[in-house]
Each structure stands twice: as structure tokens, then as C-alpha cells.
Amino acid sequence: MAEFNNKKGKAELKKQNKAAEEDKQSAESFKKADTSGDSLLDVAELKAVFSELSEKRIKVLISRADKDEDGMLSVKEFNSAKGEKAFQNNVKNAKQNAYKKIFKALEKEEGLVS
Ligand SMILES: [Ca+2]
């Protein structure tokens, strides 16, 4: 049974590595979008990344993840969006970077896209 446990342990480790990798991707995406370098994403910075979205939609997405309601997303708020159920449902098939995954999930949850 030791072998079985070892296999299980390996799978668990792989899972953890994957989660860590996704966190890293997410943090890198955040940094890239944060052009002012203040560690907060405002509407303008998000608009630069999601040029296809209207400002109104972006504001809705921010408010969805904006826990302290300052109108901007901190790294923590940004990452916590990954815990959203819709995000977890989406993440398996999404081919885009972590940043887009998060916002696509939030959009879906808001019913802005079908
Ligand atoms: Ca905030």
C-alpha cells in the first residue's frame, strides 16, 4: 500500500504545483496590467487590457471582486476572484491567461455573457 500512498502523494503535489503556477501567472498578469505600479488596478488599467469591454462592464466586474469597495482591485482581491465558483468551472477549459480567466468568470457570474 506504500506505493499507492506514494502515488497519491505525487498527485497531490502535482495539484499543489499547478495551483502555485496559476497563482504565479495571476500575479504576473496583475503586474503587467498595473501600469502605474501602485499595486492597484483601476478602471483605466483594466480598460487597457480589456479594450473589448465597455467601461460600464469593467466597473461591474471590479465591484464584483472589490471587497473593500475602493473601486480598485488589489492583488489580494484579484486573486480571491479565483475562488469564485464560476471561475473554477471555467478554469479547466480556458486557454487564455489567468487574468482573462478571472474576468471571464466574473462576467459569466454577472450574466453579462452567455
Ligand atoms: Ca479594492
Q: Three cell numbers at 28? A: 504576473
Q: How far apart are CA 23 and CA 113, in angstroms?
A: 25
Q: How far apart are CA 54 and CA 47, in angstroms?
A: 8
67 pLDDT above the threshold of 50: yes
Q: Looking at residues 45-73, what average pLDDT do you find? A: 86
Question: How far, in Å, is the centroid of ligand 1 from the Cα of 72?
Answer: 4
Question: How far, in Å, is the centroid of ligand 1 from the Cα of 48?
Answer: 18
Please give the pLDDT value at position 80: 76
| DSSP helix/strand/coil, 40 | strand
Question: How far, in Å, is the centroid of ligand 1 from the Cα of 78?
Answer: 9
Question: How far, in Å, is the centroid of ligand 1 from the Cα of 40?
Answer: 8
Neighbours of ion ligand 1 (CB under 5 A): 66, 68, 70, 72
| DSSP helix/strand/coil, 39 | coil
Instruction: Provide the pLDDT confidence category of residue 51 given band limits of 50, 70 and 90.
Output: confident
For 69-112, write each residue's pLDDT tens digit.
999 999 888 877 655 554 444 444 334 466 677 777 777 766 65
CA dihedral (34, 29, 51, 74) positive or negative: negative
For 12-25, write each residue's pLDDT tens digit.
999 888 888 877 87
Q: Are 41 and 34 in contact (CB under 8 A)?
A: yes
Tell whether domain 2-110 is in CATH 1.20.120.1200: no
| DSSP helix/strand/coil, 95 | coil
In the chain, where the domains are located: 2-110
